[in-house]
Structure 1
Amino acid sequence: MQKIKKDDTVKIITGKDKDKTGKVLSVDVKKNKVTVEGCNMITKHVKPNAANQQGGIIHVEAPLDLSNVMLVVDGKATRVGFKTEGDKKVRFAKATGKTID
């Protein structure tokens, strides 16, 4: 089980986009990378193709390291812990003790 999942709201804690918040678009578990909406934007040069006939320069989100983001629960950045409720393993916010899912 992973601490950050797709569609979670996260806060960036280091780097050029420090203190920005956004929704997680994708998580790469093998590489420990996470892509956040509107953060870590890069300029990419693309050739014309069937999907993009014009080609040119586009701005896209690049993956961040998982250690550079914190989960936001109730507007507050928090660490994530795990506990078992019955026979299910669930995430909880360490700052508030609230169960996330």
Structure 2
Amino acid sequence: MPKVKIRKGDHVVVITGKDKGKRGEVLKVLPADNRAIVKGVAMVRRHQKQTATQDGGIVSKEAAVNISNIAIEDPKDGKPTRVGYKFLKDGRKVRFAKRSGEVIDG
């Protein structure tokens, strides 16, 4: 199983599929299935039964998209980029955008 370089909270761009070009924040990563749930992307409508906390009816929610169909948004210019890893001078291992060299992790 390949390493997933996308994490919860990342801002991503959809690079292929019906939602190509849409941007959103990763809500959840499912590494076992190689998928991620992105806010506002791959919306589906589902019938939901009423519970004590939620009303019933037809609700819209995000479906999981394949990791290969999304790319991290470059912090510098907002375009899709690949992700690499490097060590900083203080010894921390961080992710960086290969497009601009900008560090993604704070």
TM-score normalised by structure 2 residue count: 0.87
Segments of structure 2 that go 5 or more residues without pairing to the other structure are: none
Report the CA distance between 1:31 and its aligned residue: 1.3
Aligned-pair identity in percent equals 46
Aligned-pair CA distance for 1:47: 1.1
1:90 matched residue in structure 2: 94
Aligned partners of 2:53, 2:17: CA distance in 1, in Å? 33
Give, in angstroms, the shift of residue 85 of structure 1: 2.2
1:79 aligns with 2:82: yes
Q: Following TM superposition, where does structure 1 have runs of at least 4 consecutive aligned residues deviating by more than 3 angstroms? A: none
> Match of 2:44, SS?
strand
Q: Given the alignment of the two structures, is residue 19 of structure 1 paired with residue 21 of structure 2, yes or no?
A: yes
Match of residue 8, structure 1, among 4, 7, 10: 10
1:7 offset after TM fit, Å? 1.1
**Offset of residue 88 of structure 1:** 2.3
Normalised to the residue count of structure 1, the TM-score between the two structures is 0.90
Q: Deviations over 1:69-98 (max 9, x none)?
A: 000022121000111224322111100111
Which string of whole-angstrom CA distances, capped at 9 and with x for unpartnered residues, describes residues 52-80 of structure 1? Answer: 2x311000000101111000022121000
Deviates more, 1:77-86 or 1:90-99: 77-86
The CA distance in 2 between the partners of 1:78 and 1:5, in whole Å, is: 15
What are structure 1's unaligned runs of at least 5 residues?
Answer: none
Mapped partners of 1:29, 1:89: distance in 2 = 20
Q: Which has the higher strand share?
A: 1
RMSD, matched Cα: 1.4
